[in-house]
Structure 1
Amino acid sequence: MRIGLLTEGGYPYVGGDAGLWCDRLVRGLGHHEFDVYAFSRSQAQEDAGWVPLPPQVTRVRTAPLWTTEDDGVVHGRRARRRFTEHYGELAAVLSAADPAATRAPAEADRFAHALYGLAELAHDEGGLDAALRSETAVRILERACRAPRVLRAAREARVPDLLTVAARLQHALRPLSLDWYEEDGLGAVDLCHAASGGTAALPGLLAGHFFDVPLLVTEYGVRLRTHYLTRPDAPPAVRSLLAAFHGRLAAETYRRAAFVTPGNTHARRWQERCGADRARIRTVHPGMDATPFVEAEESPEHANPDTLVWTGRVEPAKDLVSLLHAFSGIRAEVPGARLRIIGGPAGPVGAAYLEHCRALAARLFPGGAEGGPHPAGTGPVSFEEIGGPEPTVRAEAYASGAVIVLSSVVEGFPDGLVEAMLSARATVSTDVGAVVEVIGGTGLVVPPRDPRALAEACVALLRDPERRARLGAAARARALELFTVEQNVAAFHDLYLEIAAHSPVHRVLLNDTGDPLPFATPAEVHVPVDRTGPASRPPFRTAPAWATGTPERATDVLRPPTPASATPVPATPLVPATEAAR
């Protein structure tokens, strides 16, 4: 199969979000071809370059999200009328939107009609950026907000608010103006796999609209929730209109996707609340490489039986203040206890928070808080920079402790907790995010911001080595069953084949003489399926006449295609996607 992998600020850029996950997926599915369509978030990200790409990545096309480019397109009278119609309908839906109407079929159809109408206009005219930034767009928003029966916050929008909303909508709708939607672009892939919701999924929606390419959406952190948590100080009108847009876009994405794959039950609940069909949701936990942590599991004698270890990025959400206060109570019960805080600050806010934590530790433990790179000495608390990004460095940190502590007040999927479980270490964690789902009874969980409960749980494990060993062994067994790279790759391989079995063949591969290549079309597409149920996607649509010959505006890097094999690929045992308990 040929997969169109859609990313935003991630793969293939160095240090991008979800970059490691995407790289493991691509390398683990070497018998498929991958075309990567990536959005960059900053000049620094582009300057850092790409990670090394495997041979199965045959094409990379990129587009920036951090610049405002003038496409130079001047619309004629008919195009301006079309823009006014579709953008006006979009503005009317957003200004009249309310949370209860997000999943209403009529409102969903209005949003979809406006969105795809703007997309078709962008293709017909060669771009839409200038129109989205124009005074006309602002006046259309103003008329929609002044119409009867609109939200109160929208009715009270001032001109600066409307300018802000227009600029944010132009940023969010920038993918409409790209030249990716061609027969030799996204129209040539068998499946679009969006590595996140929001902007990254929008090209997949358009590929489905124009070419009936199926869409798979993976969200390890729900993008809509991220939008709700950012810019809390924005004016009410801005928050209201943008929340309506992102909510509608999320609902349309879930409605059109063949499958939606959250990384945990917490994300799944958000998706269901935003309109995702439960029958098309498959929970696929993130996969991690267990190999670097084997030595930590096999060498428990190297662990200090009185040492607690915390690892991660230092920032306020990790609540190290509560951890330090809890450790004060731990020292009263276990005088020989030590605490290693291993990790660097996350930006300027993290650096200031780290200094605050150092000062607090100096007050709580006079003469005993260390700042050196090694935990040896008389101080019970040490602040250490992690030695590098390699997993072996983190494995050594877990190996040095008897109990691994997570003290966060906000957490998505706790990767560090999974690493500690793979290291067969007993854990004490706060009940946030997906922690309870990950732990599954193999560690102790306490309420967040409760130093006393955190201290009591740590003392209980420090005093009971047999219990620590039992919990650590159970934790490793659970992590190996649910959270490995192999499990993750096999689950997506299974989903790819299931989607292919329910989708039409979009391309026929030919050899040099023009004959079909043997085994070029996977046998799974010929599997009989039950088509009596409700359709999960709109009817097949042929490629429009304008889909060829458009000039390129985004970076397009082609790699030589992988030669097709003349023999069938051996069957690979499939592991079904793990369904977490709701």
Structure 2
Amino acid sequence: MSEGTYPYAHGGVSVWCDQLVQGMSEHRWEAVALTVDGTEQVQWKLPANLERVVSIPLWSEGRRQRHAPRPGPMFRAALDGLLTALVAPPDPDPQRATVQRSRFLLALRGLWEYAAEGGDLARALSANAALGALQDRWGEAAEAYGAEHPALAGRPPRLTLADAAQAADLIGHMLRPLAVPPVRADVVHCAMNGLPTLVAMAAKWAHDTPMLISEHGVYLRERYLEQAAGRLPHAVAVLLLGFHRGLAGAAYHFADALAPHSEYNGRWQRRLGADPDRMWTMYNGISPERFPSAKTEPDEPTIVYVGRIDPLKDLHTLIRAFAIVRRRVPGARLRIYGAAIDTQYRDSCLALVDTLGLKDCAKLEGSAPDAVAAYHSGSVVALTSISEGFPYSVIEAMACGRTMVCTNVGGVAEAVGDAGFVVPARDHQAVAEACITLLRDPELRRRLAVQSRQRVLDRFTLAQSLEAYRGLYDRLVQPALTGRTFAGALR
């Protein structure tokens, strides 16, 4: 299961999905992708053992059910549990927090049962009675917690009808996976926490299917970063974050196994209530032969970035760092390769390049048709993200014999180890100093480049990754798995 990725888009999560399907050709697979409106086109050549692709559009208009049953007592109880969770702050007491997660899970099950009986979840959540109940819960939370509620303190005690309606509409769209027939498989493997886990929960409730969650980044942390941009009214953001927090905790609580892609992600999962006894760290892997070590370096000292043009990659920090590098390393150049996921952010990067007077030496190259050539075009490869999982770009660059300068987010430090430089996020001065050190010292670059490739060979090969997943699937499904079907829940 994934959201917006394989097989409808490219990127690290899609690469990982394709690796699993193609690398385990002895198994049959289904891909369930949460998409925008269902018009997305397949971007990958589908392997023969990928037998079915299911698209669940979250944001299309959708069909109203004319003869949907009226919400009864069971639905109202589930709705009450959901609304209470949206406004309640997380309980710091571990036992009470477990109770919160269990109640949210029960609420989701009640909503699923209503949808399975033909109920129209979106209509029921947006009905006058539901909106009034949400307003009441908001007022009760404001009165009960007062200044102790981190999100409601200092805010009006009454939730406006407009904010309640907007939040209910958005949550109704996000709950659409509960309204489709549950998948039939031997394991449902979610690429991440969040909305894909709704597909796995439905399969577990309907068919007792084992549920496995991987996590490339920390889903809940990224939702907080997303809402920090302030694009939604405060009250709507509070309610959406309450939903995401409740869903993430419920999924950790309900999953049969968790496979974080780094120890860093695992620490976040444990903090959010995951059971350490059901967790196995699974690093991403690559085929080293596809990423040969560079034999030469560019004629000019060059910093390269390869990845998405996206706010989470914080390319502003990289550009500001390069402005310092350019003043201290004569002839230095910056080459940024990647597709613009967010065109406004791309334009802001171009504007910053212009403002800092770097147009003659810093260039946004667009997508890299040949990733190996892109890595080889740099003396140093940089990644200045504010959030990551275990990025393929880091281990690909390391396999190519390039030394990394990275920010300390996600599993980046675990990938780089002592074979490169890891600095604090959002610190352009620290990024600049690390790049300057490497660009001025060719012997250090060469030594770390050799270490980098060897570290990939020792720890992060695709063969190692696939073998680890085979072992985990074997724990979840007995007897032997040959010929069984796996559903990937993707977002």
Output the TM-score relative to the length of structure 2: 0.86
- Aligned partner letter, 2:173: H
Of 197-206 and 423-432, the range deviating more from structure 2: 423-432
Query: Aligned partners of 1:116, 1:165: CA distance in 2, in Å?
Result: 20
Question: Within 5 A, what are the aligned runs for 1:130-279?
Answer: 130-147=123-140, 150-152=144-146, 153=152, 155-178=157-180, 180-181=181-182, 186=183, 188-232=184-228, 233=230, 234-279=232-277
Query: Aligned partners of 2:137, 2:427: CA distance in 1, in Å?
Result: 48
- Aligned partner letter, 1:36: A
Query: Aligned partners of 2:445, 2:17: CA distance in 1, in Å?
Result: 34
Cα deviation per residue 1:17-44 (whole Å; 9 max; x = unaligned)?
Answer: 722211111011111111222221245x
Aligned to 1:464: 441
- Aligned partner letter, 1:197: N
- Relative to structure 1, the CA distance from residue 150 to residue 52 in structure 2 (aligned partners, 3 Å threshold; closer, same or farther) is farther
Of 161-170 and 46-55, the range deviating more from structure 2: 46-55
Please give the secondary structure, in 1, of the residue aligned with 2:195.
helix
- Aligned partner letter, 1:21: W
- Aligned partner letter, 1:444: F
Of 154-163 and 114-123, the range deviating more from structure 2: 154-163
Of 466-475 and 346-355, the range deviating more from structure 2: 346-355
Query: Aligned partners of 1:323, 1:315: CA distance in 2, in Å?
Result: 17
Query: Aligned partners of 2:384, 2:484: CA distance in 1, in Å?
Result: 51
Aligned to 1:308: 303
Please give the secondary structure, in 1, of the residue aligned with 2:227.
coil
- Aligned partner letter, 2:45: P
- Aligned partner letter, 1:429: C
Query: Aligned partners of 1:357, 1:452: CA distance in 2, in Å?
Result: 16
Query: Aligned partners of 1:194, 1:396: CA distance in 2, in Å?
Result: 32
Aligned to 1:94: 86
Query: Aligned partners of 2:248, 2:277: CA distance in 1, in Å?
Result: 17
Please give the secondary structure, in 2, of the residue aligned with 1:404.
strand
Query: Aligned partners of 1:208, 1:328: CA distance in 2, in Å?
Result: 56
- Relative to structure 1, the CA distance from residue 426 to residue 229 in structure 2 (aligned partners, 3 Å threshold; closer, same or farther) is closer
Please give the secondary structure, in 2, of the residue aligned with 1:39.
strand
- Per-residue deviation at 1:382? 4.3
Rg (Cα) greater in structure? 1
- Aligned partner letter, 1:277: D
- Aligned partner letter, 2:16: W
Of 460-469 and 52-61, the range deviating more from structure 2: 460-469
Asked if the contact 1:215/1:257 (under 8 Å) is kept, the reply is: yes
Q: Which has the higher contact order (CA 8 A, sep 6+)?
A: 2
Asked if the contact 2:216/2:261 (under 8 Å) is kept, the reply is: yes
Asked if the contact 2:300/2:333 (under 8 Å) is kept, the reply is: no
Aligned to 2:390: 413
- Per-residue deviation at 1:401? 3.1
Please give the secondary structure, in 2, of the residue aligned with 1:25.
helix
- Aligned partner letter, 1:124: E
Query: Aligned partners of 1:197, 1:21: CA distance in 2, in Å?
Result: 16
Question: Within 5 A, what are the aligned runs for 1:331-410?
Answer: 331=329, 335-343=330-338, 345-360=340-355, 362=357, 369-370=359-360, 381-386=361-366, 388-389=368-369, 393-410=370-387
Of 445-454 and 55-64, the range deviating more from structure 2: 445-454
- Relative to structure 1, the CA distance from residue 156 to residue 127 in structure 2 (aligned partners, 3 Å threshold; closer, same or farther) is closer
Aligned to 1:37: 32
Output the TM-score relative to the length of structure 1: 0.73
Aligned to 1:569: none
Query: Aligned partners of 1:307, 1:118: CA distance in 2, in Å?
Result: 55
- Per-residue deviation at 1:411? 4.3
- Aligned partner letter, 1:419: E
Cα deviation per residue 1:78-100 (whole Å; 9 max; x = unaligned)?
Answer: x4333223212322343344342
- Relative to structure 1, the CA distance from residue 339 to residue 171 in structure 2 (aligned partners, 3 Å threshold; closer, same or farther) is closer
Aligned to 2:104: 111
Aligned pair 1:282/2:259, yes or no?
no
Cα deviation per residue 1:101-123 (whole Å; 9 max; x = unaligned)?
Answer: 68624333322222212211221
- Per-residue deviation at 1:277? 0.8
- Per-residue deviation at 1:347? 3.1
Aligned pair 1:124/2:104, yes or no?
no
Cα deviation per residue 1:136-168 (whole Å; 9 max; x = unaligned)?
Answer: 221222233344764553943221221122112
Question: Within 5 A, what are the aligned runs for 1:64-103?
Answer: 64-76=57-69, 79-100=71-92
- Aligned partner letter, 1:495: L
Query: Cα RMSD (Å) of the superposition?
Result: 2.9
Query: Aligned partners of 1:254, 1:426: CA distance in 2, in Å?
Result: 36
Aligned pair 1:478/2:455, yes or no?
yes
Aligned to 2:472: 495
Structure 2: gaps spanning 5 or more residues: 147-151, 486-491
Query: Aligned partners of 1:166, 1:437: CA distance in 2, in Å?
Result: 40
Structure 1: gaps spanning 5 or more residues: 1-5, 371-380, 502-521, 526-561, 565-582
- Per-residue deviation at 1:7? 2.0
Query: Aligned partners of 1:309, 1:254: CA distance in 2, in Å?
Result: 37
Query: Aligned partners of 1:310, 1:61: CA distance in 2, in Å?
Result: 34
Q: Identity percentage over the alignment?
A: 33
Query: Aligned partners of 1:428, 1:86: CA distance in 2, in Å?
Result: 49
Aligned pair 1:22/2:17, yes or no?
yes
- Aligned partner letter, 2:164: L
Please give the secondary structure, in 1, of the residue aligned with 2:92.
helix
- Per-residue deviation at 1:59? 2.3
- Aligned partner letter, 2:365: E
- Relative to structure 1, the CA distance from residue 142 to residue 307 in structure 2 (aligned partners, 3 Å threshold; closer, same or farther) is closer
- Aligned partner letter, 1:291: E
Asked if the contact 2:307/2:338 (under 8 Å) is kept, the reply is: yes
Query: Aligned partners of 2:309, 2:52: CA distance in 1, in Å?
Result: 37
- Aligned partner letter, 1:198: G
- Per-residue deviation at 1:288? 2.7
Query: Aligned partners of 1:81, 1:162: CA distance in 2, in Å?
Result: 22
